[in-house]
Amino acid sequence: MTTRAEKFAGLSVALVTPFRDGTVDVPALRRQIAFQAEAGTTGICPVGTTGESPTLTHDEHERVIAESIQAAAGRLLVMPGTGSNSTAEALRLTKYAAKEGADAALVVGPYYNRPTQQGIYEHFKALAESVGIPICVYNIPTRTGRNIEPETILRLADLPGIAMVKEATGSMDQASQIIGATDLTVLSGDDSLTLPLLSIGGRGVISVVGNIVPADMKALLDAFDAGDLAKARSLHHKLFTLCRDLLGLASNPIPIKAAMAMLGRDTGDVRLPLVPLETPLAAKLRDVLSSYGLV
């Protein structure tokens, strides 16, 4: 199966943004990217939900994009988050990412405004017609307050600049409708649903747990592509418990940052209004990591 953005098939990792003394910790960011390159990860997605983009200043957002592209140095594809609830702001960020050499842009549906489906279509159309890099439509209604309906995505698929969908609705019916009717590259936005999505034609995942276990997630994807469904299922069940128990403790990226600290890869605290993982939950997290064999 060949899709519109086939080079993005596989494992992309939604990077956390490391902080130190209240500012972006660029050396730590570079270490994260080197870690992913060594793991054989396909691509990285900085400054998305996991990267705490809502609390970055405009200058910080742009700096993380630029530093990520420089650190990847062609070893990894770079698809930074450039979405906003303001079309003009999303356009500015997406143009900046393109100018810096990003391979694509991850654009979340407009949040808070609660636009109509026509408004959502016009938002993405404006971006697709104004930049030269592929756009990945990031559909996560639990964060945005608006589902991008499959009929809207089918309309967007008629635009050459729309190449991918990060599917984080949790609906296999919606994903099936999109995959069956378009050649868009559909990537899982939920780690625990990666194998089910692959089974209906999805082509990979933009992963949170890939921050700590990229090799295992990549092995699942590779096993599926090789037709080794038994191995893929085994890895799915192994990863499922980690995904469910880690990501269910608190809002992303609170648990993944806590997990990275426990594993000796401290990336600093989350920014307000997010707060660090509470002590009882941190004890549960340590048990989860221990059960997986990480600590």
What would the pLDDT profile of 139-157 be if each residue is shown by its tens digit?
999 999 999 999 999 999 9
Residue 1 binned pLDDT confidence (cut-offs 50, 70, 90): low
The predicted model gives 258-284 an average pLDDT of 96
In single-letter form, the type of residue at position 44 comes to I
Q: Is the pTM of the predicted complex or chain greater than 0.75?
A: yes
> Distance (Å, rounded) from C-alpha 71 to C-alpha 41?
14
Q: Looking at the annotation, which residues are catalytic? A: 138, 166
The predicted model gives 74-86 an average pLDDT of 97
6-226 to CATH, choices 2.60.40.10, 3.20.20.70, 3.40.50.620, 3.40.190.10: 3.20.20.70
Alpha helix ranges (H) inside the chain: 26-39, 58-72, 87-100, 117-128, 141-144, 150-156, 172-181, 194-199, 214-225, 229-247, 254-262, 279-292
Is residue 110 within 8 A of residue 71, CB to CB? The reply is no
Convert the pLDDT of each residue in 159-203 to its tens digit: 999 999 999 999 999 999 999 999 999 999 999 999 999 999 999
